[in-house]
Amino acid sequence: MSTESKPMNLEELLQLMVKRGASDLHLAVGSPPTFRIDGRLTPVSKDLLRPQDTQMMLEPLLNDMQKMNLLKNKEFDTAYSVRGLSRFRISIFFQRGTLGASIRIMPPRPLTLDELGLPAQLKKTLALNSGLIIIAGPSGSGKTTTLASMIDFINEHRSCLIISIEEPIEFLHRNKQSIICQREVGPDTNSILSALQSALRQAPDVVVVSDLRDENIINECISIANAGVLVMANLRTSGVFPAINHIIDSFPEDKRDKTRALLTACLQGVFSQTLVAKAKARGRIVAMEYILPSAKIKRCLREGDMINFEKLIDKEPDTKSQAAALRDLCNKKVITREEAIANAYNPTELERIIDRAY
pLDDT in tens, 249-306: 999 999 999 999 999 999 999 999 999 999 987 889 999 999 999 999 999 999 999 9
- Which domain-ending residue is among 55, 88, 106? 106
Q: Are residues 125 and 263 in the same domain?
A: yes
Q: What is the DSSP letter of 126?
A: T
Q: Are residues 154 and 19 in the same domain?
A: no
What value does the CA radius of gyration of the chain take, rounded to a whole number of Å? 21
Q: Are residues 77 and 171 in the same domain?
A: no
User: How many helices and strands (H and E) does the chain possess?
Assistant: 15, 14
Q: Are residues 87 and 155 in the same domain?
A: no
pLDDT-above-90 percentage for the chain: 85
Overall average pLDDT of the 169-176 stretch: 92
Per-residue pLDDT for 5 more than 80? no
Per-residue pLDDT for 99 more than 60? yes
pLDDT of residue 106: 87
Q: Are residues 85 and 225 in the same domain?
A: no
Fill in the amino acid letter for 235: L
Asked whether the beta carbons of 91 and 77 are under 8 A apart, the reply is yes
Domain-located, residue 325: no
Verify cis geometry, omega within 30 degrees of 0, for the bond prior to 107: no
Question: C-alpha 321: how far from its chain's center?
Answer: 19
pLDDT of residue 220: 98
Domain-located, residue 341: no
| Residue count of the chain | 358
Overall average pLDDT of the 200-220 stretch: 97
Fill in the amino acid letter for 168: P
Task: For 354, list phi and psi in degrees, rounded to 5.
Answer: -65, -45
The pTM of the full predicted model, rounded to 2 decimals, is 0.86
Domain-located, residue 355: no
Domain-located, residue 332: no
pLDDT of residue 7: 67
Q: Are residues 41 and 154 in the same domain?
A: no
Residue 50 neighbours by CB under 8 Å, 6+ apart: 7, 29
pLDDT tens digits for 44-79? Answer: 988 899 999 999 999 999 999 999 999 999 999 998
Q: Are residues 133 and 20 in the same domain?
A: no
Name the strand (E) or helix (H) holding 354.
Answer: helix 347-357
DSSP of 42-96, one letter per residue?
A: EES-SPPPPHHHHHHHHGGGS-HHHHHHHHHHSEEEEEEEETTTEEEEEEEEEET
Domain-located, residue 146: yes
Q: Are residues 102 and 117 in the same domain?
A: no
pLDDT of residue 108: 78
Domain that holds residue 207: 113-320
CA-closest candidate to residue 101, choices 40, 56, 63: 56
Q: Are residues 71 and 163 in the same domain?
A: no
pLDDT tens digits for 226-246? Answer: 999 999 999 999 999 999 999
CB atoms within 10 A of CB 357: 9
Overall average pLDDT of the 321-338 stretch: 95
Q: Are residues 88 and 121 in the same domain?
A: no
Region of poorest pLDDT, from 4-18, 37-51, 313-327, 331-345:
4-18
Q: Are residues 80 and 151 in the same domain?
A: no
CATH code at position 43: 3.30.450.90
- Which domain-ending residue is among 106, 123, 148? 106
